[in-house]
A = this chain, B = another copy of it.
C-alpha cells in the first residue's frame, strides 16, 4: 500500500501520524517552461498538489521523497522543505463538502474524526526535468497533469497558497543553492543555465553579471567541447563540479546576480 492510496488503511492511526500531512509541490522544468504536477481526485472538480500522510516509521523527509517517487518514478530528486501550514480552518469546511460528495456517490467517507479536526501540512517542493517523468496516478485520482504555474486550475483547500509559497521559496533558494543539477542535461551551455534561472525567477538577468557570478562559485566547469546551435553559434559546454556542487548544496553559497 502506498502512502497516498485513499483507502481505509490510509487513515489508520496505528500506521500514520495523526493530524499531519506532507504536501509536495513537484515543479517540472523543460525548455524554458516551469510547471507543477497536480492531481484531480475522482468525483471532485478541484486539483491538489501531491500529498500524503506520514508513516510512523518514517521521517517527514522520507515521506516527502516517497510522495515524489510515487508520482514521478524518480528517486533522490532535489527536495526542499519550505513551510508548514496549520490552522483550525484550513481544510475543515471544504472537507465537510467533500464528505457530502462521497455520500451522494454512495461511498463511505472515512469516519476518523481527526481528519477534519485540525490539519497540519508540512510542505516541500521538488524539482525535476519534466520530460523525464512518467506521471503515475494514485488509485483515488481521476487525473494527474502538469500545469503552468501561472495558470493553475481550481485548487482544493489552501493548495493555491501552498504553490505560491513554494514558488517564492524556490525563487529565494535559487540564490543560495546550486539548483540545476537535476534540471539540465549533464553537459550544458551558459545560455541554457541562464534561461533556467530567468525562467524560475521570472525576470531578465544581465548576461555578463550572471556568468561572472556563477563561474566565481566554482560549481560549474568549462569543458573542451562546443555545441553547434546554429550558424556561427558554437557555445562551449559546461558541467557541474560534483564536489563543489555538493558542498554548495550543503552549506549554501551566495549568488548575488
Question: Does A57 contact B88, Cβ atoms closer than 8 Å?
Answer: yes
Q: Among B56, B57, B81, B117, which residue has its beta carbon within 8 angstroms of that of A84?
A: B81
In the complex, what residue of chain B is closest to A177 when comparing beta carbons? B172
- Chain B residues near A19 (CB-CB < 8 A): 17-20
Q: How far is the CA of A87 from the CA of B17 in the complex (A)?
A: 10
Interface majority SS (helix, strand, loop, mixed), chain A: mixed
A46 interfacial contact with B, CB 8 Å: no
A168 interfacial contact with B, CB 8 Å: yes
Question: Does A118 contact B86, Cβ atoms closer than 8 Å?
Answer: no
Known contacts A18-B19, A83-B81, A254-B175; A88/B168 CB under 8 A: no
Chain B min CB distance to A90 (Å): 8
In the complex, what residue of chain B is closest to A90 when comparing beta carbons? B59
A60 interfacial contact with B, CB 8 Å: yes
Chain B min CB distance to A79 (Å): 13
Q: How far is the CA of A19 from the CA of B17 in the complex (A)?
A: 7
Q: How large is the interface on A (under 10, 10 to 19, 20 to 34, 35 or more residues)?
A: 20 to 34
Number of copies: 2
Question: Does B122 contact A86, Cβ atoms closer than 8 Å?
Answer: yes
Question: Does A54 contact B86, Cβ atoms closer than 8 Å?
Answer: yes
A256 interfacial contact with B, CB 8 Å: yes
Question: Does B81 contact A118, Cβ atoms closer than 8 Å?
Answer: no
- Chain B residues near A86 (CB-CB < 8 A): 17, 20, 54, 59-60, 122
A179 interfacial contact with B, CB 8 Å: no
- Chain B residues near A194 (CB-CB < 8 A): none
Known contacts A17-B19, A17-B120, A19-B20; A56/B88 CB under 8 A: yes
Q: How far is the CA of A26 from the CA of B45 in the complex (A)?
A: 43
Q: Mark A141-157, 1 if CB is under 8 A from B, else 0.
A: 00000000000000000
Q: How far is the CA of A57 from the CA of B92 in the complex (A)?
A: 12
Q: How far is the CA of A18 from the CA of B117 in the complex (A)?
A: 11
Known contacts A175-B254, A252-B168; A88/B60 CB under 8 A: no
Q: Mark A47-91, 1 if CB is under 8 A from B, else 0.
A: 000000010111110000000000000000000010111111000
Q: How far is the CA of A57 from the CA of B17 in the complex (A)?
A: 20
- Chain B residues near A254 (CB-CB < 8 A): 175, 256
What are 14 A-B interface contacts by the 8 Å CB criterion? A17-B120, A18-B114, A19-B19, A19-B20, A20-B86, A54-B86, A56-B88, A59-B87, A59-B88, A60-B86, A86-B122, A172-B176, A172-B252, A256-B256
